[in-house]
Amino acid sequence: MYLLFILLVFVILIITNVKIVPQSYAYVIERLGAYSATWGVGLHFKIPFIEKVAKVVMLKEQVADFRPQPVITKDNVTMQIDTVVYFQITDPKLYTYGIDKPMSAIENLTATTLRNIVGDLELDQTLTSRDTVNSKMRSILDEATDAWGIKVNRVELKNILPPREIQDAMERQMKAERERREAILRAEGEKRSAILVAEGQKQAQILSAEAKKEAQVREAEGEAEAIIKVQQAIADGIKMINESNPGEAVIALKSLEAFAKIADGKATKIIIPSQIQGIAGLAASVKEVINDLK
């Protein structure tokens, strides 16, 4: 029975001192109160009553969201800024023995660093230079936490809250800026519209003038062609008359027809050349002889 009890105690000791370290964790081991080793992933056996697990350290990247801190800018504006720090433990031994309460130390270091950096900036610079502030803080914190076995990967300013009156003034300024831009855009649109209308009217006037010019040209060409045809017809008639070798009587008759057309019942006085008068008398005598024969 006694042997069974000893065997049972021995089994319990073995079971309780077998440690399995999971992925992304490290165990810091002390032997008789002094640092002994850092266990990585896998199966380990701890010597009973001599060794102990001093600290279980998580090696994954962690996020620390610190509460807002009051910060005074160079132009004496007090604002509330809260930061987010992304860090990773790279040395479990230094993290365990390098500093007491490392998270509190990081928070305080973040607050003091933020005050130092923002204290050299004015309000507008603080609001527009987040990337610069983030970069400076990450560099300072990373350098300071090396001795604690901590690697600072990123630092972000989560919120920047100016005083309420400053926020109201900024909102009014933004509203005025938006209204100014709207007025500029509206004026540019109206200007563009007026230009387009003027261009349209100009093009319409040009097209109208070109159409009128084209009509006048075609009308003039038609009149010129008609005159040419009339003159050609007259020339052809004269040519035909010359080719037929007309007598004096025919010429006299044609002349009388021409004078008749000239008079047309409107002329009050017509002077007839003597040659045409003689021919007319001859024509009358011939007419009388013909009448006597009848």
What would the pLDDT profile of 109-119 be if each residue is shown by its tens digit? Answer: 999 999 999 98
Burial class (CB in 10 A: 0-12, 13-18, 19+), 24: exposed
Segment (H or E) for 115:
helix 102-118
- Three-state DSSP state, 53: strand
- Encoding tokens for residue 204? 């319409």
pLDDT score for 167? 74
Q: Is the pLDDT of residue 139 over 70?
A: yes
pLDDT score for 3? 80
pLDDT band at 63 (very low <50, low <70, confident <90, very high): very high
pLDDT score for 60? 93
Question: So where are the chain's domains?
Answer: 2-58, 62-162, 165-245, 246-294
Report which of 227, 283, 287 is spatially closest to residue 255, judged by C-alpha positions.
283
Query: Higher model confidence: residue 209 or residue 267?
Result: 209
CATH of 62-162, one of 3.30.479.30, 2.40.30.10, 3.30.70.100, 1.10.3980.10: 3.30.479.30
pLDDT score for 162? 84
Q: Is the pLDDT of residue 85 over 90?
A: yes
Mean pLDDT to the nearest integer, 165-179? 81
pLDDT band at 163 (very low <50, low <70, confident <90, very high): confident
How far is 241 from 235, CA to CA, in rounded Å?
10
How far is 162 from 263, CA to CA, in rounded Å?
110
pLDDT score for 23? 92
| Mean confidence (pLDDT) of the chain | 82
pLDDT score for 287? 47
pLDDT score for 49? 86
Find tokens 């019942």 and name the residue: 265
How far is 30 from 53, CA to CA, in rounded Å?
6
pLDDT score for 263? 55
Query: Higher model confidence: residue 255 or residue 156?
Result: 156
68, 82 in Cβ contact below 8 A?
Answer: yes
pLDDT score for 64? 92
